[in-house]
């Protein structure tokens, strides 16, 4: 079925559903005529959204149906679940479904971030002096001290006891969320800000990784980052994807006014960033209480890190499938 036929056939039912939503959102309740069959109408909207996505209809139509589905989901479950239950539902199915629905932006951000990281890492490994073109000598010396095989705590600028781990946990949270928010919010600069910070962070991390590997600190460095990196690096890419979506809404709003396109994009992007923030909290906890420890052998850390990477990838690609909730 062509998009024009699809829209013509179902436009009336979409308008009727939007009218029901307006009544619920304005007053918190609606009359019997409006509420009758609401759940069935909501399921139908979700079905239409899936069809539109599968058939490759225009972004304008898909965004319109996504907003109807999202608003319907909020009204349907407003009185059925607590905030805690809604949060659990978002984490268990809503967030991974959202990531998959925005796969184009996620793929673009991941390519920019991980591509620049890997490329710079290889270049610095092959041409060691290249590290000083992006990292000043004092920072390089600090990094070498942090990952010295003789250090009692890895990834720390100074030797700290276990009692200070909670302080580092707070520091990691503030630092990581600051980077992610910067990468996301700068997408308002037509996406150029997100593009810059994805490349910048990838180049910086890659330069440090390549240098430490080249000087023989690979075991301490990689055993440190592999665990929390599963959540932290993925979160940075997701924050970048959210920023790129904002920028794209401004660059290519389609038939919508730019501000309306931005509003619709922001509703999706903020949810992406919220999920990324949870990833960063997990990353900070792992980094403070596991990654820096030296009692576990590198092989144990590699095994745990590989399991965490597998968990993250499985969660984002598999969780929430078959659940009838909006993306």
Q: Could you give phi then psi for residue 254, rounded to 5 degrees?
A: 70, -135
Which of the residue ranges 11-15, 21-25, 235-239 would you say has the lowest mean pLDDT? 21-25
**Between residues 148 and 49, which one has the greater pLDDT?**
49
The one-character DSSP state at 91 is I
Is 144 found in the same domain as 205? yes
Q: Are 283 and 234 in contact (CB under 8 A)?
A: no
**CA–CA distance, 172 with 112 (Å, rounded to integer):** 23
Which of the residue ranges 119-128, 134-143, 170-179, 318-327 would you say has the lowest mean pLDDT? 318-327
Q: Residue 121 domain-assigned?
A: yes
Domain that holds residue 62: 3-80
Q: Are 39 and 76 in contact (CB under 8 A)?
A: yes
Q: In the listed set 80, 95, 118, which residue is the last one of a domain according to the structure?
A: 80
Is 153 found in the same domain as 64? no
**CA–CA distance, 28 with 18 (Å, rounded to integer):** 15
Q: Residue 92 domain-assigned?
A: no
Is 264 found in the same domain as 145? yes
What per-residue confidence (pLDDT) applies to 78?
63
Q: Could you give phi then psi for residue 55, rounded to 5 degrees?
A: -90, 0
Is 112 found in the same domain as 64? no
Token couple for 124: 């610095």
Q: In the listed set 80, 114, 131, which residue is the last one of a domain according to the structure?
A: 80
Is 202 found in the same domain as 62? no
Residues 6+ apart with CB under 8 A from 276: 180, 184, 234, 235, 236, 238, 239, 242
Q: Could you give phi then psi for residue 81, rounded to 5 degrees?
A: -140, 150
**CA–CA distance, 34 with 17 (Å, rounded to integer):** 9
Is 54 found in the same domain as 157? no
Look at residue 327 and tell me whether its pLDDT is greater than 50.
Answer: no
Is 295 found in the same domain as 208? yes
Q: Residue 201 domain-assigned?
A: yes
Mean pLDDT for all residues in the chain = 86
Q: Are 209 and 117 in contact (CB under 8 A)?
A: yes
**CA–CA distance, 285 with 165 (Å, rounded to integer):** 9
Is 55 found in the same domain as 109? no
Is 110 found in the same domain as 70? no
Is 185 found in the same domain as 287? yes
- pLDDT, tens digit, 9 for 90 and up, residues 249-273: 999 998 889 999 999 999 999 999 9
Q: In the listed set 25, 48, 80, which residue is the last one of a domain according to the structure?
A: 80
The one-character DSSP state at 97 is H
Dihedral sign (CA 213, 216, 218, 221): negative
Average pLDDT over residues 48-63: 88
Q: Residue 240 domain-assigned?
A: yes
**CA–CA distance, 122 with 141 (Å, rounded to integer):** 20
What per-residue confidence (pLDDT) applies to 214?
95
Look at residue 70 and tell me whether its pLDDT is greater than 90.
Answer: no
Count of structural domains within the chain: 2
Q: Please state, for a pLDDT cut of 90, what percent of the chain lies above it.
A: 50
What per-residue confidence (pLDDT) applies to 40?
83
What per-residue confidence (pLDDT) applies to 82?
58
- pLDDT, tens digit, 9 for 90 and up, residues 228-249: 999 999 999 999 999 999 999 9
Q: Could you give phi then psi for residue 67, rounded to 5 degrees?
A: -65, -40
Look at residue 27 and tell me whether its pLDDT is greater than 80.
Answer: no
**CA–CA distance, 80 with 142 (Å, rounded to integer):** 53
Average pLDDT over residues 292-311: 91
Q: Residue 245 domain-assigned?
A: yes
Q: Residue 95 domain-assigned?
A: no
Is 75 found in the same domain as 111? no
Q: Are 232 and 224 in contact (CB under 8 A)?
A: no
Nearest one of 280, 182, 198, 270 to 231, comparing CA atoms: 280
DSSP state letters, 252-318: --TTS-HHHHHHHHHHHHHHHHHHHHHHHHHHHHHIIIIIT-SSS-HHHHHHHHHHHHHHHHHHHHH
What per-residue confidence (pLDDT) applies to 146?
85
Is 174 found in the same domain as 112? yes
What per-residue confidence (pLDDT) applies to 239?
97
Q: Residue 257 domain-assigned?
A: yes
- pLDDT, tens digit, 9 for 90 and up, residues 269-301: 999 999 999 999 999 999 888 887 878 888 999
Residue 153: pLDDT band (50, 70, 90) is low
Residue 31: helix, strand or coil by DSSP?
A: coil
Q: Residue 8 domain-assigned?
A: yes
- pLDDT, tens digit, 9 for 90 and up, residues 98-126: 999 999 999 999 999 999 999 999 999 99
**Between residues 75 and 323, which one has the greater pLDDT?**
75
């Amino acid at each position: 079925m062509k998009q024009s036929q699809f829209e013509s056939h179902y436009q009336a039912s979409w308008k009727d559903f939007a009218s029901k939503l307006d009544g619920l959102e304005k007053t918190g309740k609606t009359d019997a005529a409006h509420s009758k069959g609401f759940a069935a109408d909501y399921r139908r909207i979700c079905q239409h959204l899936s069809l539109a996505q599968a058939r490759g209809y225009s972004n304008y139509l898909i965004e319109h149906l996504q907003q109807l589905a999202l608003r319907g989901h909020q009204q349907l479950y407003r009185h059925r679940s607590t905030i805690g239950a809604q949060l659990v539902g978002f984490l268990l199915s809503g967030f991974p479904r959202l990531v998959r629905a925005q796969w184009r932006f996620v793929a673009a951000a991941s390519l920019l971030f991980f591509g620049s990281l890997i490329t710079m890492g290889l270049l610095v490994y092959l041409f060691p002096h290249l590290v000083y073109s992006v990292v000043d000598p004092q920072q390089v010396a600090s990094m070498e001290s942090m990952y010295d095989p003789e250090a009692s705590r890895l990834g720390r600028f100074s030797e700290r006891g276990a009692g200070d781990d909670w302080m580092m946990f707070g520091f990691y949270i503030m630092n990581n969320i600051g980077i992610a928010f910067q990468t996301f919010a700068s997408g308002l600069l037509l996406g150029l800000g997100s593009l810059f910070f994805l490349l910048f962070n990838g180049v910086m991390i890659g330069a440090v990784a390549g240098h430490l590997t080249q000087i023989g600190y690979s075991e301490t460095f990689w055993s440190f980052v592999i665990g929390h990196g599963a959540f932290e690096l993925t979160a940075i890419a997701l924050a970048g994807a959210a920023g790129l979506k904002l920028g794209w809404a401004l660059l290519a709003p389609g038939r919508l006014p730019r501000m309306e396109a931005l509003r619709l994009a922001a509703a999706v992007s903020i949810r992406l960033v919220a999920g990324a923030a949870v990833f960063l909290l997990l990353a900070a906890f792992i980094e403070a209480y596991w990654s820096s420890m030296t009692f576990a052998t590198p092989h144990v850390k590699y095994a745990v890190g590989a399991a965490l990477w597998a968990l993250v990838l499985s969660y984002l690609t598999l969780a929430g499938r078959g659940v009838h909730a909006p993306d």
